[in-house]
Amino acid sequence: MPLKDCVFSPRDIRSSTRHSRTMDQQDNKIAVVGAGLVGAACACMLSRHGFAVDLFELRSDLRLSSKLSVGRSINLALSARGLHTLRLLGVADEILERHAIPMYARMIHNVDGRTEPIPYGASGQCIYSVGRKYLLELLLFRAERDDNVRLHFDHKLLRARFHQGSLEFSTPDRDAVTKSGYRAIIGCDGVFSRVRQDVMRCGRFDFEQKYIDHGYIELCIPAKDNEFQMAVNFLHIWPRGEFMMIALPNQDKSYTVTLFMPFEKFEALTTAEKILKFFETHFPDSIPLIGRESLIQTLTTVEVSSLASVKCSPYHVGGRGLLLGDAAHAMVPFYGQGMNCGFEDVSILDELFTALGTSDLEKPFETFSEVRREDAHAIVELALYNYIEMRHLVNSVWFRLRKKFDSSLHWMFPKFWVPLYTSVTFSRMKYSECISNRAWQDKVLRNSLRSIGLLALGVSLAYAASRMRINVRLH
Amino acid sequence: MPLKDCVFSPRDIRSSTRHSRTMDQQDNKIAVVGAGLVGAACACMLSRHGFAVDLFELRSDLRLSSKLSVGRSINLALSARGLHTLRLLGVADEILERHAIPMYARMIHNVDGRTEPIPYGASGQCIYSVGRKYLLELLLFRAERDDNVRLHFDHKLLRARFHQGSLEFSTPDRDAVTKSGYRAIIGCDGVFSRVRQDVMRCGRFDFEQKYIDHGYIELCIPAKDNEFQMAVNFLHIWPRGEFMMIALPNQDKSYTVTLFMPFEKFEALTTAEKILKFFETHFPDSIPLIGRESLIQTLTTVEVSSLASVKCSPYHVGGRGLLLGDAAHAMVPFYGQGMNCGFEDVSILDELFTALGTSDLEKPFETFSEVRREDAHAIVELALYNYIEMRHLVNSVWFRLRKKFDSSLHWMFPKFWVPLYTSVTFSRMKYSECISNRAWQDKVLRNSLRSIGLLALGVSLAYAASRMRINVRLH
């Protein structure tokens, strides 16, 4: 098996049948479906509370494959909420020290080639570009080192039965394998969650999946002479109103570039000439960086990916089932909060286990459902809104002014005035409170502007009146 | 097999393999999944356009079973849109003449026992109470008599593959049966549509399912001395603000009564005493009609059913797949439009086949998706709104006044002023236009009231002024 892109040694991968479980653990088993970022983190967190965890994954072990290579895979913007969970699991330092590229500001690329930075937060505050494959591998190793966790790859879920605590899978060897004896089944199996389909069968379950009319294609700005081709500690943005392009730096000094655009605009780019014309008009500075060949090759062959939001409620089935991460709340990627929100699910559940205990799982699960829904719905909406802001407003004067005003006020009163982006990205304030906090700020600002306006009018009138009096006296 | 409740003779049921298909028909096959009301009607309509139709149903042939008996099953309110489709299929007269009970008005039951009617429309306009089982049996016989239609019961859909034109079923005999060679697959398989799940796999598909916090339980007012126990040509309503009860007449002179209420209110009715107390307080006149025993028996044993809305978009998969009826747009039952809207889907598709032809199915399917979405979304919302109106407003003075005002204006200007309920129930006006028409009426009414108010003020002032002048002259 090719392992050239894997940052870990294959010898690190332990057999998943290495230890037998005690009787106590047999009675305290939880099945986690989906060994993605949230599933792996959830398994490690559950182990902290004494659960014996079986972590099932549809796909093969990605640590044995080079398919999702580190260099060109999607990279993610890690921020406060995600980091908090990674700290909880004891893996944050390793990531930050060795594999995260700090991004302190957006770097705006104008059509004429000028670039200018807009900082994300106060001095020193940054988000981190991290490769998805690296992060997942790290979490899988972390899970595997945990004696309470067992990994099961190539397990395709056919049916989850919450009340029986059993799951049916198909594997490469067998059509149907039943695993049973679980106190609870937790679905961390992503936006098209199979577990969620079975939650739907369990009674009243509100569900919404909504696509936007825009899709995306990933491009690459490769390293040149083993160096980044653009300033490194930035998230590069080419905002163009109806569409936009962004780029995040990778460990191998390449950039993953993503072009977001209405589907019909992609469909219009049918020939090499049209593609080049389009890039020359809108993103001229990116052409030499990406390379003409690569640009045309990608845009003529790769299928445009779509973007969906998912909201649902409730997240739990009594004390027997729970949905976390994208399975519960998928969002468009424009606030960089998809993974962070999924990781935050894990830390919130951890806090609820600590506060409410684990003898009765219904209490923590139900509380999770209640406290998390409002916040998940809020960030799903914020993520949609931020696409408009990134495409339109980053380039507008009003946006810049407001950013500067917010930053200054935040600098003067760091607790009193927290800008929206700062509260979402650099704090663990509830997402719904981030929104209400912003609404309050908008109101304060409106009222202040009105007062200033009135004051200015008053001063002007007083001045005019005094001038008139002087004139009257003079005449 | 017990057939006592079946109004048709078992000899009427033909074998479904009675005729072989010509080569032309083999190339023009359509699979309809779900032999409910909409599926059966759709199959008959498709046959009119020369398609060879295979109609698949999960359940056994209900004509051979007495499970869903005519007397006590859910009855439906048939109105203009549904009737239009039944006329198209040549079965409307039989239903209207032999099996439909006209309801000309709502009969409001006050807590003190007083009753008063509120007409549905102009004199003679009515909706019809029809038994679901009877209607379905009639449509199944109509489909079966059609040489182009074949019925397949006990076929549980496992997977629909639109682009291959194939379906996989499980049957009582076999785990997996594949049927193939279909130009298109049409899902008429209801609110929890299996076909829709496969539409979801085909790309960007918006979907929303939303439950309301209220559930329902069905009760029965049996016939007494072979007579109806209440005035027959009415839909009886007990509006009680937060909850309500309704009753529709059945062919066997019983009434199917439905109590709609918040789930927690149902959950509070834990004992016979509480149930009787509740009915004595809110529905005293219904107790002798339903009977104490039956009331307590039903409310202590029957599970409360839930109510959901479903919206989705698009309804089609190119020219290969389509969703109709509840599979595309399920609604709460408060406008009596669920079945009527589903039947209207069938007549609209029929019109599109006639207008656009059937050589390329993508055109009619895509147009259906486009023209129908807005209207389906509109009636889903109207149905939710009408629950509030039925519970609260039917009993309010303003509602009565507005009804009378609308009826008078409609009587004077039948084309110019069509009340909302009339346009939804007694016309085939697009649902979305029904709403915009109502919005326009509200605006006219507001402006008129304002003008009348100003006029009255003017007249009063003029009168006061003239009185003052007279007074001045007199003094």
Q: What is the pLDDT of residue B261?
A: 97
Beta carbons of B329 and B376 less than 8 angstroms apart? yes
CA distance B320 to B361: 7
Q: List the beta bridge partners of residue B215.
A: B261, B306
pLDDT tens digits, one per residue of A169-184: 999 999 899 999 999 9
Give Cα separations from B458 to A53, B448, B455, B463, B464 (angstroms): 80, 15, 5, 8, 10
Q: What is the pLDDT of residue A143?
A: 97
SS in 3 state form for B44-108? HHHHHCCCEEEEECCCCCHHHCCCCCCCCCCEEEECHHHHHHHHHCCCHHHHHHHCCEEECEEEE
Q: Which residues of B touch A211 (CB under 8 A)?
A: 204-206
Is B308 part of the contact surface with chain A (CB cutoff 8 Å)? yes
pLDDT tens digits, one per residue of A240-263: 999 999 999 999 999 999 999 999
CA distance A307 to chain B (A): 8
Contact at CB, B306 and A204, closer than 8 angstroms: yes
Residue type, B84: H
| CATH code linked to domain B10-103+124-209+307-385 | 3.50.50.60
The two counts, helices (H) then strands (E), for chain A are: 15, 19
Q: What is the pLDDT of residue A5?
A: 40
The two counts, helices (H) then strands (E), for chain B are: 15, 19
Which residue of B lies nearest to A192 if distances are taken between CA atoms?
B201
CA distance A305 to chain B (A): 10
Mean pLDDT of A84-108: 95
Mean pLDDT of A128-152: 95
Task: Tokens for B123, please give them.
Answer: 């004199």
Beta carbons of A184 and A320 less than 8 angstroms apart? yes
Q: Is B440 exposed, middle or buried (0-12, 13-18, 19+ CB in 10 A)?
A: exposed
Q: What is the pLDDT of residue A472?
A: 62
Is B207 part of the contact surface with chain A (CB cutoff 8 Å)? yes
CA distance B33 to B185: 7
Which one has a higher pLDDT value, A444 or B361?
Answer: B361
Is B384 part of the contact surface with chain A (CB cutoff 8 Å)? no
Q: Which residues of B touch A206 (CB under 8 A)?
A: 209-211
B142: helix, strand or coil: helix
Instruction: Break chain B into its structural domains and give their ranges.
Output: 10-103+124-209+307-385, 211-306, 397-475
Task: Tokens for B236, please give them.
Answer: 């009886």
Output the DSSP codes for A416-428. T---HHHHHHSS-
Residues of chain B with pLDDT under 70: 1-20, 22-26, 66-73, 393-395, 470-475
CA distance A351 to chain B (A): 30
ipTM: 0.82
Q: Is the peptide bond before B117 cis (omega within 30 degrees of 0)?
A: no
Residues 6+ apart with CB under 8 A from A231: A107, A115
CA-closest candidate to residue B133, choices B171, B95, B102: B95
Which fold is adopted by the domain A10-101+127-209+308-385? FAD/NAD(P)-binding domain (3.50.50)
- Quickly state the pLDDT bin for A11 (edges 50, 70, 90): very low
Q: Which residues of A touch B200 (CB under 8 A)?
A: 209
CA distance A210 to B207: 6
From B197, B205, B210, residue closest to A206, measured CB to CB: B210
Task: Tokens for A154, please give them.
Answer: 């190539």
The phi-psi region of residue B13 (left if phi > 0; otherwise alpha if psi is between -120 and 50; otherwise beta) is beta
Is A205 part of the contact surface with chain B (CB cutoff 8 Å)? yes
Q: What is the pLDDT of residue A16?
A: 45
Q: What is the pLDDT of residue B95?
A: 93
Is A203 part of the contact surface with chain B (CB cutoff 8 Å)? yes
Is B205 part of the contact surface with chain A (CB cutoff 8 Å)? yes
Q: Which residues of A touch B309 (CB under 8 A)?
A: none
Q: Which residues of B touch A267 (CB under 8 A)?
A: none
Beta carbons of A143 and A38 less than 8 angstroms apart? no
Is A267 part of the contact surface with chain B (CB cutoff 8 Å)? no
Mean pLDDT of A70-75: 53
Is A209 part of the contact surface with chain B (CB cutoff 8 Å)? yes
What are the start-end ranges of the H helices in A99-252?
132-145, 194-200
Q: Which of B192, B206, B307 to mutate to test the interface with A (most CBs of A within 10 A)?
A: B206
SS in 3 state form for B337-370? CHHHHHHHHHHHHHHHHHHHCCCCCHHHHHHHHH
From B197, B203, B208, residue closest to A208, measured CB to CB: B208
CA distance A382 to B57: 43
Q: Which residues of A touch B208 (CB under 8 A)?
A: 207-210
Chain-centre distance for alpha carbon B282: 27
From B206, B306, B308, residue closest to A211, measured CB to CB: B206
CA distance A20 to chain B (A): 37
Which one has a higher pLDDT value, B238 or A74?
Answer: B238
Q: Which residues of A touch B206 (CB under 8 A)?
A: 209-211
CA distance B407 to B422: 9
Q: What is the pLDDT of residue A69?
A: 44
Which residues 211-250 of A are in CB contact (within 8 Å) with B?
211
Q: Which residues of A touch B308 (CB under 8 A)?
A: 204
Size of interface A-B (CB pairs under 8 A): 31
Output the DSSP codes for A290-332. H-HHHHHHHHHHSPPEEEEEEEEE--EETTTEEE-GGGT----
